[in-house]
C-alpha cells in the first residue's frame, strides 16, 4: 500500500509550531505496528482530534500526536497486551483488548516518549478520560466518531462547538448501552463517567452507542 503523505504533512506543520509533539519517526513506527486498515483509522482519528482541539482552542499538536499514537498496541496478541498491562480487574483478564490503551502507554514510555499529556490521552482512549486532560477528551471523541466508523456523527459535530457536551454524550452513551444489556462497565469507564461535568445528560434515541 502506498504511504499516504497526509500524516507526515500535518505532523510536520504541527511539529514546527509545537516541539512537544515529538512526532519525528513515530508515524512510521505506528504504520509498521498496525494493519493497513488500522493505520487509516489512526490517521482519521489524528486529523479529527486535531480539528476538535483547534475548534475548542486547545493544543492541536498534542491532540494530533495522541491520535497518531493511540492504537500502536491495538494489533498485538492478547498475551503481549497482558504482559505490558497486567489486568486491574476481571474485565481486563477476560477481554485483553481492553488493555491496549495502557499497553500502548507502556510501550511508548519504554521507547522514550515523554509527553505526559499525550501519554495519558493514549492510555485513556479505550475507557474514557478520567478528568483534567482536554487532549484526552479530543482523542476519545475522535476515536468513537471518526467518519470511517459510520456512526456517532452527532458526537463529532457537537465536539466542534462544545467539547464537554460531546464528551458527556460519548461516555454516557457507552455506560447506558452496556448497563442496558447487563454488561459490566469497566471501572475506569465508571471513573470517566463520574468525572463528567454533566453526568445527567442522556443521549438522543437516534444516537449510536460510542464504542
Q: Write down the pLDDT at residue 132.
A: 84
Task: Give the orientation angle of helix 116-124 with respect to helix 134-145, to 10 degrees.
Answer: 40
94-143: per-residue pLDDT in tens?
A: 999 999 999 999 999 999 999 999 999 999 999 999 888 999 999 999 99
25-74: per-residue pLDDT in tens?
A: 898 999 999 999 999 999 999 999 999 999 999 999 999 999 999 999 99
Residue 118 lies in a domain: yes
Chain length of the chain: 211
Residue 62 lies in a domain: yes
How many domains does one find in the chain?
A: 1
69-107: per-residue pLDDT in tens?
A: 999 999 999 999 999 999 999 999 999 999 999 999 999
Residue 211 lies in a domain: no
Whole-angstrom Cα distance, residue 105 to residue 102?
Answer: 5
Q: Write down the pLDDT at residue 5.
A: 54
| 31 contacts 3 by C-beta, under 8 angstroms | yes
Q: Write down the pLDDT at residue 206.
A: 35
Q: What residues make up the domain containing 86?
A: 6-194
Residue 204 lies in a domain: no
Q: Write down the pLDDT at residue 8.
A: 55
Q: Write down the pLDDT at residue 1.
A: 38
| 94 contacts 186 by C-beta, under 8 angstroms | no
CATH number of the structural domain spanning residue 10: 1.10.3210.10
- Give the pTM: 0.85
With a cut of 70, say whether residue 204 has pLDDT above it.
no
Residue 168 lies in a domain: yes
Q: Write down the pLDDT at residue 175.
A: 94
Q: Write down the pLDDT at residue 124.
A: 97
Residue 146 lies in a domain: yes
What are φ and ψ of residue 162, in 5° steps? -150, 90
Residue 136 lies in a domain: yes
Residue 209 lies in a domain: no
Amino acid at each position: 500500500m502506498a504511504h499516504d503523505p497526509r500524516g507526515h504533512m500535518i505532523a510536520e506543520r504541527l511539529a514546527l509550531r509545537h516541539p512537544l509533539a515529538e512526532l519525528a519517526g513515530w508515524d512510521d513506527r505506528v504504520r509498521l505496528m498496525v494493519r493497513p486498515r488500522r493505520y487509516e483509522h489512526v490517521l482519521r482519528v489524528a486529523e479529527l482530534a486535531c480539528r476538535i482541539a483547534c475548534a475548542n482552542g486547545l493544543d492541536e499538536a498534542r491532540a494530533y500526536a495522541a491520535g497518531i499514537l493511540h492504537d500502536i498496541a491495538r494489533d498485538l496478541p492478547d498475551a503481549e497486551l497482558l504482559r505490558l498491562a497486567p489486568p486491574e480487574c476481571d474485565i481486563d483478564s477476560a477481554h485483553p483488548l481492553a488493555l491496549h490503551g495502557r499497553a500502548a502507554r507502556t510501550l511508548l514510555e519504554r521507547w522514550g516518549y515523554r509527553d505526559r499529556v499525550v501519554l495519558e490521552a493514549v492510555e485513556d482512549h479505550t475507557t474514557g478520560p478520567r478528568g483534567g486532560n482536554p487532549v484526552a477528551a479530543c482523542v476519545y471523541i475522535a476515536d468513537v466518531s471518526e467518519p470511517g466508523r459510520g456512526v456517532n456523527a452527532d458526537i463529532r459535530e457537537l465536539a466542534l462547538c462544545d467539547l464537554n457536551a460531546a464528551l458527556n454524550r460519548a461516555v454516557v452513551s457507552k455506560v447506558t448501552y452496556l448497563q442496558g444489556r447487563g454488561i459490566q462497565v469497566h471501572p475506569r469507564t465508571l471513573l470517566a463517567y463520574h468525572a463528567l461535568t454533566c453526568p445527567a445528560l442522556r443521549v438522543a434515541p437516534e444516537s449510536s452507542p460510542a464504542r
